[in-house]
A = this chain, B = another copy of it.
Amino acid sequence: MRLPEPFGRHIWKKKKRGSAPLIATESTMKARVHVMLKDGVLDPQGEAVRHALGGLGFDGVEKVRQGKVIELDLADGTSEDTVREMCEKLLANTVIESYQIELS
């Protein structure tokens, strides 16, 4: 069930028989993007979760908002501006959604 990983495959192809184990010189960076509905935009999914939690006997749940989180493995050196452009163009609908970027 595991997806083939381009990074791993690449290293495997470069390894020569009998040579010492390759140390990966090509590193990756990770970005995590949170996409949430803006305040004031109705969130039926979050409302459904709040209602269901109440039905299960969890008291004190006052508000629930549900959003998306997208984890990206990027080539090293990718700038935050590039990730921001990905958000603006594809990952978030900026009319109703806001996004936060975490790089690591």
Give me the interface of A with B, judged by CB distance under 8 Å: 1-3, 5-7, 28, 34, 36, 39-43, 46-47, 49, 52-53, 56, 58-75, 78, 82, 85-86, 89-91
A14–B62 CA distance with the chains assembled, in angstroms:
18
Q: How many copies does the complex hold?
A: 2
Interface of A, helix, strand, loop or mixed by DSSP: mixed
Q: Which of B7, B46, B58, B85 lies in contact with A62, CB distance below 8 A?
A: B7
Residues B40 and A1 in contact, CB atoms below 8 Å apart: yes
A49–B70 CA distance with the chains assembled, in angstroms:
9
Residues A73 and B68 in contact, CB atoms below 8 Å apart: no
Residues B73 and A62 in contact, CB atoms below 8 Å apart: yes
Residues A69 and B67 in contact, CB atoms below 8 Å apart: yes
